[in-house]
Structure 1
Amino acid sequence: MTGDSENPNADVQYHLEVGPADVAETVLLPGNPDRLETIVAHWDDHDNKARHREYRTATGTYEGTPISVTSTGIGSPSAAIAVEELARVGCETFIRVGSCGAIQPEMAVGDLVITTGAVRQEGTSEEYVRADYPATADYEVVSALVAAAERLGYEYHTGVTMSADSFYAGQGRPGFEGFEAAGSADLVDQLKAANVKNIEMEASAILTLATVYGLRAGAVCTVYANRETGEFRTEGESRAAETATLATHLLAKMDAIKREAGADRWHAGLSLEE
């Protein structure tokens, strides 16, 4: 029995330092805390709610839709903490907003990747559920992200993401003094052959936890590097932020249309058109 020893804070979450009044139902999840400023720049207004360790949280509105952002730091362990604690204060939809490396040659730096599912090459989600459990994005979130990218006119790709636990060895890069992990030389080629689109470090854990808990999650990342062509530029960071922001508004509209129609889930018979 642990009693109350797991969280010494009575009113706020231990790591994020937020309570139920601090966050909206939908939260954007960038890794880099500094990316919070890029995201809230697209909103109509915002208030900074908390800052602790790698976690920064702000809440505001976009076109009348409440929206929050919480940075997660690098990697799945800290991202899982964010999902856990945000879920405990009432958040129901999570959208990862990040950067990634593309592994298909037709994907340009600055393009967006909207994740439909993820290869779970990270250990965090395996501490929740068996390894063959799928990491899948909620199709409503995917639909909203695609609709947002289309409305904004941004180039985007949809498909499977690989989430790794390390930036170097786990993504097939050489380590210190040229160290090569077992299998790293063939990793990118194998993923490419399986039509995996991109590599990053958080999506699979976020998707897995959301599915386990009956919540919605998705991911949109800007391509910073193409591992096939060798191109690398930090370009288009704001595109993922703007797309996720608009998608949050579209999800709210979708939810309202569902309620009016008496539908449990979004389907092709419903329309977002005015």
Structure 2
Amino acid sequence: MTDETDETSEGIKGTGGDSKDPGDEVQYHVEVGPGDVADAVLLPGNPERVDTITALWDDHEEVAAHREYRTATGSYDDTPISVTSTGIGSPSAAIAVEELARVGVDTFVRVGSCGAIQPGMEVGDLVITTGAVRQEGTSDEYVREDYPAAADGEVVAALVAAAERLGYDYHTGVTMSADSFYAGQGRLGFEGFEAAGSAELVAELQDANVKNIEMEASAILTVASVYGLRAGAVCSVYANRITGEFRTEGESRASETASLAVALLARMDEVKREAGADRWHAGLSL
């Protein structure tokens, strides 16, 4: 029996039966409980990006730090907001969505970096995901492979409105989420290793009008959708896969856009309540 199978009563027992659901208790990986986080949580991969994000807020307090998961809660534009880093890849991102949902979170916005693969996309631009190609394996363990990884329309609308208000260059469209940074994204591996099909991968995605490549969005969108929760993603372009240019630029713009989007979503929810509407739509004004 490994360490993972017998750590706590909340952990996976490995006996074939269901493990104890933490329910309203402190969550096993992210180490947050009810009241620790806001209804909306930003999900960067890099734990260091938590500091970039919270620097933009009115106030904040770090409430948990365990493994790759750092969580802070505060306010932006007088709106409650939280952030939890997820580490690299879909397995750990799905864990964050699972456990944050269990303590009441209903809205998730991935804030990340990506590689752009279409002409006219510059390093530092933002990409707002409308849907994602599920080239990661995590979401396959939740639902059949032909289930779409679709971003919630309200979250997409809020992200677009935020980018417009802030004056940031952005693109909208389909994202591809991979399970590896190298072979899975058409890059050469160690000593020039080339995975089968990797040479054609980017060209095939370009032909299908996919805008960018990253590693978490499709799992976050899929898991949130399965549970009836809202999710979206905004990424800054670090790599231009057409020109080969790479710079770590635009991180703060993605962070500010996502933070403002959460504030706009809160206003959209208030307008819906006042109008007695189930969904925000263009006929309702912010």
Where on the TM-score scale, by shorter chain, does this alignment land: which range?
over 0.9
Query: Structure 2: how far apart are the matches of 1:3 and 1:159?
Result: 39
**Which residue of structure 2 lines up, in the alignment, with residue 249 of structure 1?**
263
**Which residue of structure 2 lines up, in the alignment, with residue 144 of structure 1?**
158
Flag structure 1 segments of 5+ consecutive residues without an equivalent.
Answer: none
**Which residue of structure 2 lines up, in the alignment, with residue 221 of structure 1?**
235
**Which residue of structure 2 lines up, in the alignment, with residue 58 of structure 1?**
72
Give the partner amino acid of 1:177. Answer: E
Query: Structure 2: how far apart are the matches of 1:107 and 1:11?
Result: 44
SS at match of 1:231: coil
How far does residue 237 in structure 1 lie from its aligned partner after superposition?
Answer: 0.9
**Which residue of structure 1 lines up, in the alignment, with residue 95 of structure 2?**
81
Aligned residues: 271
Contact 2:24–2:33 under 8 Å retained in 1: no
CA RMSD of aligned residues (A): 1.2
**Which residue of structure 2 lines up, in the alignment, with residue 202 of structure 1?**
216
**Which residue of structure 1 lines up, in the alignment, with residue 177 of structure 2?**
163
SS at match of 1:20: coil
How far does residue 268 in structure 1 lie from its aligned partner after superposition?
Answer: 1.2
SS at match of 2:35: helix
CA displacement 1:93-128 (0-9 Å, x = unmatched): 000000000001210000000000000000000000
* Match 1:108 to one of 102, 114, 122: 122
Alpha carbons of structure 1 residues 114 and 10: separation in structure 2 relative to 1, 3 Å:
closer
CA displacement 1:196-243 (0-9 Å, x = unmatched): 000000000000001000000000000001101111111111000000
How far does residue 155 in structure 1 lie from its aligned partner after superposition?
Answer: 0.1
Give the partner amino acid of 1:76. Answer: S
**Which residue of structure 1 lines up, in the alignment, with residue 134 of structure 2?**
120
How far does residue 5 in structure 1 lie from its aligned partner after superposition?
Answer: 4.4
* Match 2:148 to one of 111, 134, 139: 134
Query: Structure 1: how far apart are the matches of 2:127 and 2:59?
Result: 27
* Match 1:44 to one of 55, 58, 74: 58
Query: Structure 2: how far apart are the matches of 1:66 and 1:225?
Result: 32
Query: Structure 2: how far apart are the matches of 1:190 and 1:11?
Result: 46
SS at match of 1:114: strand
Query: Structure 2: how far apart are the matches of 1:11 and 1:76?
Result: 24
Give the partner amino acid of 2:235. Answer: C
Taking the TM superposition and a 5 Å limit, the aligned residue runs for 1:157-196 are 157-196=171-210
Contact 2:24–2:102 under 8 Å retained in 1: no
Give the partner amino acid of 1:112. Answer: L
Give the partner amino acid of 2:135. Answer: Q
TM-score after normalising by structure 2: 0.93
Query: Structure 1: how far apart are the matches of 2:251 and 2:95?
Result: 24
SS at match of 1:17: coil
Moved more, 115-124 or 59-68: 59-68
Q: Does 1:236 align with 2:256?
A: no
Contact 2:183–2:194 under 8 Å retained in 1: yes
TM-score after normalising by structure 1: 0.97
CA displacement 1:227-261 (0-9 Å, x = unmatched): 01111111111000000000000000000000000
CA displacement 1:58-94 (0-9 Å, x = unmatched): 0001121100000000000000000000000000000
